[in-house]
A = this chain, B = another copy of it.
């Protein structure tokens, strides 16, 4: 019996390199389709090989162009590359995102590339969970590197750390002045700072400011974020950017931080799954259960406060009612 024979059909197709099966499973993940669960579960054991690289930063700094450049660089090294672009659901994001996206899509003819856009719909937590699951599918599909592009609330997506092994924060020169005010926030996110549009005035200054900031200390894991400058216009610096990413990936391996980081992320993931399930069940119970309906009436009437009501619900959950 072949090692894939026991897999459910869609999972088997994905492992066998079927791009349409992969696309369909991704759609199922996006739609939270429970029918996909057996496939996702079966594919999990085939994950853990891909490097997942997050690129985050404000709109318009050129993340898509950078990904385009990295894609070409990595393909030239013979690596198979996936791209997940998490589109902010904002109707105000303008056309540049789409323009860049189209350029990436042109490479779709290449069998070693898989590109997927996902709408974020403003549900931050949910995006991280969906993105993580889609990364796993691309991982099981056999891609070596997965590049995740994301814009978060606050313009930098903190949640990328729940998905990526290396996170790149992309900035542009004219944001350099504000570097002093970022500090801790970005340090929590960035393994690599990338000052893009190095052809613009002020790029060196911005990089210098960031380097000074970085020189103040390492992050809690002992990694000192790298600062690189790139220009997607001229193609400069993409190799340096990849070297910096690669250096962080190697750092994770040598310090056993890859395993520890994955363990921490998995712990948060299963806690979130239980939390969501409990929440779903409670919401249903509040709709149905006459006792809980009276509890809600009491809340509206101010005869009980939300904390006391939550205590009551909690005891129900834990079977201590």
Contact = CB atoms under 8 A, between A and B. Distances in A.
Interface string A1-45: 000000000000000000000000000000000000100110011
Copies of this chain: 2
Contacts of A153: 88-90, 120, 122, 124, 152-154
Contacts of A268: 283
A22 to B, nearest CB: 18
Interface in A85-113: 88-92
| Chain A binding surface, main DSSP class | helix
Contact of A267 (B92, B259, B283): B283
A267 B286 CA distance: 7
Nearest to A171: B92
A125 to B, nearest CB: 7
Contacts of A266: 296, 299-300, 306, 309
Interface residues of A, number: 69
A158 interface: yes
Interface in A258-288: 259, 262-263, 266-279, 282-283, 286
A200 interface: no
A64 to B, nearest CB: 18
Interface stretch (A181-189, A235-243, A244-252): A181-189
B318 A44 contact: no
Nearest to A94: B178
Given A300-B262, A317-B318, A273 B310 contact: yes
B91 A186 contact: yes
Interface string A163-187: 0000000000001001001100110
A279 B270 contact: no
Contacts of A297: 263
A47 interface: yes
A259 B296 CA distance: 11
A266 B277 CA distance: 19
Contacts of A275: 275-276, 278-279, 282
Q: Which 9 A-B pairs have the closest CB atoms?
A: A153-B153, A273-B310, A44-B305, A90-B154, A45-B302, A91-B182, A319-B319, A275-B279, A89-B154
Given A91-B186, A267-B296, 19 more contacts: A40-B305, A41-B305, A44-B306, A45-B305, A48-B302, A58-B92, A90-B153, A90-B155, A91-B154, A91-B181, A92-B175, A120-B154, A122-B154, A153-B153, A263-B297, A263-B299, A267-B286, A271-B283, A278-B317
27 contacts: A41-B305, A41-B307, A41-B308, A44-B306, A47-B302, A58-B90, A88-B155, A90-B156, A91-B154, A91-B181, A91-B185, A92-B178, A122-B154, A152-B153, A153-B154, A263-B300, A266-B309, A267-B296, A270-B295, A271-B286, A273-B307, A273-B310, A274-B278, A274-B313, A275-B276, A275-B282, A317-B318
